[in-house]
Structure 1
């Protein structure tokens, strides 16, 4: 499902783009942590325009959904920025596996440490990410890792919000300007349930199956305690699962993949819905000072 956005004011778009280019100009040799989403794509496009050396680097691990690496490569090629891959092993970090409210801190720490070690070979002197102003008001423990590793956020420096980023992306003909958010597969696992390669592989397969069955619609398969699958669809698409044949197919396939029970969330698709659990998880894990960061 493509997002809609009424973007017609070219002058406004050019002004926003100018702010970003001004913010990124001081960074002459930069590596961009490149997920292939719209935020990092716009930062990469700006770096390609302004930096003497610019490279987009995508982290590859079990938590990357099928198809995301191929799309990142495609987008980087269309932007015109060299693309590299770094293999990360966040699942080996106990804090990541534990999957408390600060899981993303351990993931980003793994990523930034790998990028720092590669920086001399890449010929870069600064790491950039795609954090925008809207992210600062959300639960983002990964921002702590960014600050610990001196990662710069040019979208924040330029005072740009998500809508501004999409405006710039459309102006610059970035092909994914209206792509919905696509966070890592571990973000589907309820806090307090161990994050493992096996679980994310199961989630990936379940989402691929549902997308093929339901014609590629935006959806999530959340993994709750006891390996319960909670399917989230946009409210207007919930009726698709009312069909008995479809419902039977979905339940059978997800149980075959290893889920013990299969449910549908009547509140529909909500990006970041597992963050609703955070107050409970934070009280249950007082030893971590990063859970509420």
Structure 2
């Protein structure tokens, strides 16, 4: 049984969440029409759901499909949209064709976001839609994110951040709304698996995608395969690291990664954390 203090704390959290959700809904209603950059992740799914509930046909979801995103992510996004019933468009930006992107500079995400939201802005203008929104939340402000500069330049709004919502807030509310993404692992585009300065190619992206899919098929939930030339550095959730104390699993992973093209495979002892590739520049 919960103590009185625990009950009061739970009530306080609930009230704060209710207030944030009310602010979000009011802000969305005031926008009147909105394009949501929809990836199918935790944040954009929650944002789209609330926006659709408030604005209905005045919301348009736009999903990007490219070599930097796994096909499984695209399929999950389409599946959710079909069940929700919102209007949906798919665009085909190819980040590798952007001048400078494949060289993987430290501001790589700036090029990507500028390309993506420039295309979305054109769609918004063609459809007479007033605002463009991304799924950024308060927690996104704590890491190195050069893409935020492009978002600001193109006047993209971030309703979740403006409502003061954290990732945990979004997961709690998503669970209450029975959204399938409430406990979905965090995801970032496959380009984030490369050290800055290392050239990104379609072949390398395919290697990472196949390697991560193999680990997911092995039952891991939170996975990153960082590409360091001949070396694959595996990051899994802290609680999943112990699974590698299994010789048969290690042998399967090593053999499969050799087939994919990695000469060596290593386990990151610290485990998964957001923005691990930024640790060398921060």
TM-score relative to the length of structure 1:
0.86
The residue number in structure 2 matching 1:146 is 151
Spell out the pairing of 1:78-227 with structure 2 (5 A cutoff): 78-212=83-217, 214-224=218-228, 226-227=229-230
Determine the C-alpha separation between the residues in 2 that align with 1:278 and 1:96.
18
Match of 2:49 among 42, 45, 49: 45
Q: Quote the residue 2:40 is aligned against.
A: 36
Q: Could you tell me which residue of structure 1 aligns to residue 6 of structure 2?
A: none
Tell me what 2:265 maps to: 262
- Shift of residue 186 of structure 1? 1.0
1:17 aligns with 2:21: yes
CA contact (8 A) 2:244 2:250 kept: yes
CA 1:92/1:209 → structure 2, altered by over 3 Å: closer, same or farther? same
Structure 2: give runs of 5+ residues left out of the alignment. Answer: 1-8
User: Is the contact made by 2:96 and 2:102 (CA closer than 8 Å) also made in structure 1?
Assistant: yes
Counterparts of residues 282-293 of structure 1 (less than 5 Å): none
**Given that residues 220 and 236 in structure 2 are in contact (C-alpha distance below 8 angstroms), is that contact kept between their aligned partners in structure 1?**
no
1:227 shift after superposition: 3.1
CA RMSD of aligned residues (A): 2.1
Offset, 1:46: 2.2
TM-score (norm 2): 0.89
Task: Using CA pairs under 8 Å that are at least 6 residues apart, name the structure with larger relative contact order, 1 or 2.
Answer: 1
Shift, 1:10, TM fit = 5.2
Residues 1:236 and 1:30: Cα distance change in structure 2 (over 3 Å): closer
Which structure 1 segments of 5+ residues have no match?
1-5, 280-293
Deviates more, 1:144-153 or 1:86-95: 86-95
Give SS of 2:281's match.
helix
Structure 1 window deviating more from structure 2 (231-240 vs 98-107): it is: 231-240
Cα deviation, residue 49, structure 1 = 2.3
Matched-pair contact (CA < 8 Å) for 1:41–1:76: no
Match in the other structure for 1:290: none
Contact 1:14 1:168 in 2 (8 A): no
How many residue pairs align between the two structures? 272
Instruction: Answer yes or no: is the 8 Å Cα contact 1:127–1:151 preserved in 2.
Output: yes
Deviation at 1:184, TM superposition (A): 0.9
Q: Shift in Å at residue 188 of structure 1?
A: 1.1
Mean Cα deviation higher: 94-103 or 241-250? 241-250
CA apart distance, 1:12: 4.2
Q: Please give the secondary structure, in 2, of the residue aligned with 1:101.
A: coil
